Structure 1
């Protein structure tokens, strides 16, 4: 398979999904990681797609308007190093004795692992995180009530409204970020995030830099609601300016070589 064939196949993959990891491309194309990275560099150089941490992303114009949700068990294996670094950085914001909300999602799950044995009161609607903390944690754990939605892995009561719990910080992830705000394609997440956002002094967004190139259809929260974002060192200058112009404090987690 020559360069042109690989580039065509990568472009076709990005028409079906907003992001492909180096591992995804290796499995699809049967070539080495070094070859995949050269292909990514070339497609980024000619403007066909965008190089991001851990792989390649569709351009915003081609990604907008497309459902870009991935199953939780698939998403948790993408950009794992970045998510762990972001979670470790975010954990530094939590003090002993704090009451916090940790939303569902793979990056927030990593934060929960960091806080599992800390002296905190932790409210979560994440079934995977609750299961881990129930078995391995010592923190005070408060669970959302309601029905288990296995995809996207949250517990939610559609008729209950916001929970009777108040936190110093609400930590959440997002499927995508634009100038309009945080974006999701799953309507249940849109509702759950809206309810929980009223239950904390500050909203802290945990999002690796890929998220600025993914554009789902539903605006969940405007950027003006976000106090702090913890992201990785792949954040572009344009992305940083957009966030700073919205008044968001940016914390950068340093990740090892890509």
Structure 2
């Protein structure tokens, strides 16, 4: 397929999905990842899409359509290097011998891989992370009970009567971040986020900078209950000021995926 028909096909795909990752674009169009990235550059320059970390987004996407949870297997492959850098920074905050809670989501998953062999106790409701840690880790692992919710990939019992454990730190991601706090669209993630934050001394948010532009409908946790946030250097001055105004300490890591492209 030549460039023009392929570009038209990508634009039509964006009308259906609003976001397409580099890996998915390469697979669907039958091209290399390098060609997919060049296509994204050309479409972005032509105003036919928005180049974002890990792929391309449609222009003028309504908030309700943009703020949706992608399947974990897709989200895991977006902005991977940024998420790994965030995860490494988060791992440096974990003390040996401590107990931590790790929430669901792709950035938290990458964080979990960083601490898999540490001398710590990990509690998680994330089915992908629990599977990884059970096969590849040596840390003490406790998995939340309840029904399996394949999307968003958690074990959860909405009728549960609380938890009998307490942790030093709670590591959590979010679908969006605003002055209101951590934003989500899935009701179970909202409940689980609130539940877990009450079981830990410190709540640490792991999000790449794209999340500050998203506006999901529900506040899962206000910024007043967030102690620290780790993101990449795509963070704008305006968003940094929001964090500062709410007393949230934040760490900015280098956006590795922006280098050499």
So what's the TM-score if we normalise by structure 1? 0.86
Partner residue, 2:245: 245
Alignment correspondent of 1:167: 167
Structure 2: runs of 5 or more not aligned? none
The equivalences for 1:10-25 within 5 A come to 13-25=13-25
Question: Contact 2:204–2:228 at 8 Å: present in 1 too?
Answer: yes
Separation in 2, partners of 1:17, 1:203: 33
Distance 1:84 1:175 in 2: 17
- Tell me how far apart the structure 1 counterparts of residues 43 and 99 of structure 2 sit (CA, whole Å): 43
Alignment gaps of 5+ in structure 1: none
Corresponding residue for residue 236 of structure 1: 236
The equivalent residue for 2:93 is 93
- Please give the secondary structure, in 2, of the residue aligned with 1:158: coil
In structure 1, the residue matched to 2:221 is 221
Taking the aligned partners of 1:2 and 1:126, their CA distance within structure 2 comes to: 41
CA deviation after TM superposition for structure 1 residue 29, in Å: 5.7
Count of aligned residue pairs for this structure pair: 253
How far residue 146 of structure 1 moved from its aligned partner, in angstroms, is 1.4
Could you list the per-position Cα deviations for residues 12-65 of structure 1 after superposition, in whole angstroms to 9, with x for gaps in the alignment? Answer: 55554453333444455667245324235426xx6x765432233456x73412
Over 3 Å counting, the alpha-carbon distance change for 1:18 and 1:90 in structure 2 is: farther
Report the counterpart of residue 72 of structure 2 in structure 1.
Answer: 72
Whether the 8 Å contact between 1:170 and 1:203 is mirrored in structure 2 is yes
Cα deviation per residue 1:191-237 (whole Å; 9 max; x = unaligned)?
11111111111111111112122222222112222111111222223
**1:62 matched residue in structure 2:** 61
- The 1:34/1:73 distance shift into structure 2, 3 A limit, reads closer
Do the aligned partners of residues 251 and 3 (structure 1) sit closer, same or farther apart at CA in structure 2, a change above 3 Å counting? farther
Inter-partner Cα distance in structure 2 for 1:124 and 1:19: 29
What is the TM-score with the length of structure 2 in the denominator? 0.85
Answer whether contact 1:52 1:234 (CA < 8 A) is retained. Answer: no
| Cα distance change, pair 174–15 in 1 and its aligned pair in 2 (3 A) | farther
